[in-house]
Amino acid sequence: MSVQAFLFYLLSAVILLSTGIAITRRNLAHAVVYLVISFFGTALLFYLLGAPLLAALEVIIYAGAIMILFLFIVMMIRLETPEKPLLPRAQMVPALVMGVVYLAVGELLLTFSEPAAKVPLESAVATPRVFGQFLFAQHWLAIEIASLLLLVVLIGALLIGRQRSKIEEPES
């Protein structure tokens, strides 16, 4: 096993473990912090798979901006009622069936996958300069659409945030 393969399995273990811990926490702040670890692991994985720019973006946007946004909201809301147990007994059977079916289908897909998917990947790196030029040369329309989406989201979030105070004004 090469060093890169070892790193891949180590990072996979870290990502899966921290995500698994995160989704079972009762305390939302703890869940968010565990998820930050998971996203850092994903960033390192991107670097390992030859995407340094995406690794940086993952740290800046996912682990940085998005998780901080979650932390803000968690601090603003106050959780009074403890949640009920994660899986009530009535839901245990459907959940198990779903899980087993998911795993079985995944296993089938892996066994019958093409032989090329079973040989180790060659490592390659898309440097940020080359990747950026490729992105703006080949996908400029999608970039524009994404920027439009972000603008719409900005306005939408402002509107959703403002509506409440407008509704409340006559009451108070």
Partner 1 sequence: MIVPFNHVLVLSGLLFFLGLFCAVVRRNLVMILLGLEIMLNAAAVAFVGASLRWQLMDGQALVVFIIAVAASEVSVGLALVMAAYHRTGSVDPRQLEQDG
Footprint on residues 125-154 left by partner 1 (CB under 8 A): 126, 130-131, 134-135, 138-139, 142, 146, 149-150, 152-154
Exactly one of 36, 40, 42, 44 binds partner 1 (CB under 8 A); that residue is 42
Q: Give, to the nearest 10 degrees, the angle between helix 67-76 and helix 28-48.
A: 180
Select from 104, 113, 39, 44 the least CA-distant residue to 70.
Answer: 39
Exactly one of 81, 141, 169, 172 binds partner 1 (CB under 8 A); that residue is 81
| Shortest distance (Å) from residue 166 CB to partner 1 | 12
Regarding 40 and contact with partner 1 (CB under 8 A), the answer is no
Reduced to 3 states, what is the DSSP secondary structure of residue 110?
helix
**Residues near partner 1 (CB under 8 A), total:** 83
Q: How far apart are CA 47 and CA 36, in angstroms?
A: 17
Regarding 9 and contact with partner 1 (CB under 8 A), the answer is yes
CB within 8 Å of 81: residues ≥ 6 apart:
none
DSSP 4-52: HHHHHHHHHHHHHHHHHHHHH-SSHHHHHHHHHHHHHHHHHHHHHTT-H
Regarding 31 and contact with partner 1 (CB under 8 A), the answer is yes
Exactly one of 23, 75, 100, 108 binds partner 1 (CB under 8 A); that residue is 23
Exactly one of 89, 93, 112, 117 binds partner 1 (CB under 8 A); that residue is 117
Exactly one of 33, 37, 49, 56 binds partner 1 (CB under 8 A); that residue is 49
Regarding 33 and contact with partner 1 (CB under 8 A), the answer is no
Regarding 160 and contact with partner 1 (CB under 8 A), the answer is yes
CB 69 within 8 A of CB 60: no
| Shortest distance (Å) from residue 89 CB to partner 1 | 13
Token digits of residue 55? 């690794």
